[in-house]
Structure 1
Amino acid sequence: MTQPVSDERQVANDIVEENARAIGQLVGLLEALPGNLYRQCFGHRKQHVIGKHVRHIIDHYSALLSATASPGALLDYENRNRDLSLETDRRAGGSRLSDILRELRDRFGAEYASELAMLHNSDGQRQVVTTSVERELVFLASHTIHHMAIIGMLAEQAGVEVDAEFGVHPSTLRYLQRQTSGLAISA
Structure 2
Amino acid sequence: MLNSQLEILAQGHAYLEGVTKEDYSQVITPNFISSAGAHMRHIIDHYQSLMTGFSTQKVDYDYRLRGGDIENSPTAAIKKIAEITTWIEQLSPDDFNKPLSLSSEVSIKSKNVQTVTTSLARELIFVGSHAVHHYAMISQISFAQKSQLDQSFGLAPSTATFLRENSQPAQPKSMQN
Q: TM-score, normalised by structure 1?
A: 0.83
Deviation at 1:81, TM superposition (A): 2.6
Q: 1:157 maps to what in 2? A: 144
1:90 matched to 2:77? The reply is: no
1:16-95 equivalences under 5 Å are: 16-44=2-30, 47-70=33-56, 73-82=57-66, 84-95=68-79
Task: Classify the secondary structure of the residue corresponding to 1:42.
Answer: coil
Q: 1:109 maps to what in 2? A: 92
Length, aligned pairs only:
168
Q: 1:168 aligns with which of 152, 155, 171?
A: 155
Q: 1:137 aligns with which of 102, 124, 149?
A: 124
Deviation at 1:110, TM superposition (A): 6.0
Change over 3 Å in CA distance of 1:152–1:131 after alignment to 2: same
Amino acid at match of 1:52: A
Amino acid at match of 1:69: S
Amino acid at match of 2:158: S
Q: TM-score, normalised by structure 2?
A: 0.88
8 Å CA contact 2:32, 2:141 repeated in 1 = no
Distance 2:100 2:114 in 1: 14
Distance 2:127 2:92 in 1: 17
Amino acid at match of 2:115: V
Amino acid at match of 1:31: E
Q: 2:114 maps to what in 1? A: 127
Amino acid at match of 1:178: E
RMSD: 1.7
Q: Deviations over 1:90-148 (max 9, x none)?
A: 10011111210111121x22643621101122232222211111011111111000000
Distance 1:102 1:143 in 2: 20
Amino acid at match of 1:77: Y
Distance 1:45 1:145 in 2: 20
Q: Deviations over 1:47-91 (max 9, x none)?
A: 220100000000000000001123xx4100011233511101110
Which runs of no fewer than 5 residues in structure 2 stay unpaired?
A: 173-177
Task: Flag the structure with more relative contact order, 1 or 2, with Cα contacts below 8 A and sequence separation at least 6.
Answer: 1
Task: Classify the secondary structure of the residue corresponding to 1:41.
Answer: coil
Q: 2:175 maps to what in 1? A: none
